[in-house]
Amino acid sequence: MGDLLKGKVAIITGSGRGIGQATALKFAKEGAKVVVSDIDALPAEETVGRIIDSGGEAVSYVGDVMVPDFAQGIVQKAVDTWGGLHIIVNNAGFTWDGMIHKMGDEQWDKILNIHLKAPYRIIKAAHPYFCNAAMEEIEKKGMATARKIVNVSSVAGVGGNLGQVNYSSAKAGIIGLTKTMSKEWARYNVQANCVAFGFIDTRLTQDKEKGIEVDTGKEKVAVGVPAKQRDLFIRMIPMQRPGTPEEAANTILFFASPLSNYVSGQVLICGGGFSM
């Protein structure tokens, strides 16, 4: 067990699987108390179980991040359980691809809602436990505890991507949200940063023929990448392989830890050498 995040309370959305799960496990190993959140109860509870079995502290919060009262609920879960909140990782999301001339409003809205509106709501709900708490600390000690917002973007949000007009727009938007929060809450010693992932090996990047689906709250949407396109993407990566969820989680850990206490408003591409 490490102590980079000792005593910190963290919310991680979409942490039942993939990058989110790897991040939750890594945070717990570094001493954080973690609210594991997923739309599905089983993976959330499995992640919590793994953390507890390894000597860490975690609770689950099951729900759809797109539901209006989710944000207040998950923040309250952290505060009611451990008395405060120090780290927000906005990771939950999925892809629902299509060319713009074939895309309907629901397909557009759903992706913007999960990747941009949900993080906005969660950050807003955290205001009393980030900013008000910081003001009290400044009055008592002269300086606030460093608190962290880590948003997950994509190389698609940095440079666009064919067939992902909704996803690219949402992931570009989260960069704008991140940069604005780095200015609005800087006086409260809040650092807001963003990781833009390239091709990470998760269920969202598996061969589409495997028939993997994600629950959008109302329906299931097929995810994955056609085999030929997947192989092409991998060949375009300078390191010639996808990243692992654990490698992705390392970049989130950096932004959540004291190592980044004077770093804010930044976008880090985690893409195996891929750059824009």
Residue 58's DSSP bridge partners are: 34
Give the separation between CA 247 and CA 233, rounded to whole angstroms.
18
Residue 38's DSSP bridge partners are: 62
Residue corresponding to tokens 């713009």? 100
Give the separation between CA 170 and CA 110, rounded to whole angstroms.
10
What 3-state class would DSSP assign to 166? helix
**Residues 61, 120, 129, 167: which is the catalytic one?**
167
> Could you tell me the CA-to-CA distances from 241 to 17, 172, 182 in Å, in that order?
20, 25, 33
Q: Please list the alpha-helical segments (H only) found in 30-69.
A: 41-53
- Provide the total of helices (H) and of strands (E) in the chain, helices listed first: 11, 9
Number of alpha carbons in the 13 Å side-chain half-sphere of residue 194 = 26
Which tokens sit at 264?
A: 């804010």
Which tokens sit at 129?
A: 């436990």
Residue 167 is among the residues annotated as catalytic for this protein: yes
What 3-state class would DSSP assign to 152? strand
Give the separation between CA 152 and CA 237, rounded to whole angstroms.
20
What is the signed CA dihedral for 256, 262, 265, 268, rounded to 10 degrees?
-60
**Chain-centre distance for alpha carbon 243:** 16
Q: Which residues contact 122 (CB under 8 A, 6 or more apart)?
A: 11, 13, 65, 70, 71, 74, 75, 88, 90
Please give the positions annotated as active site: 167
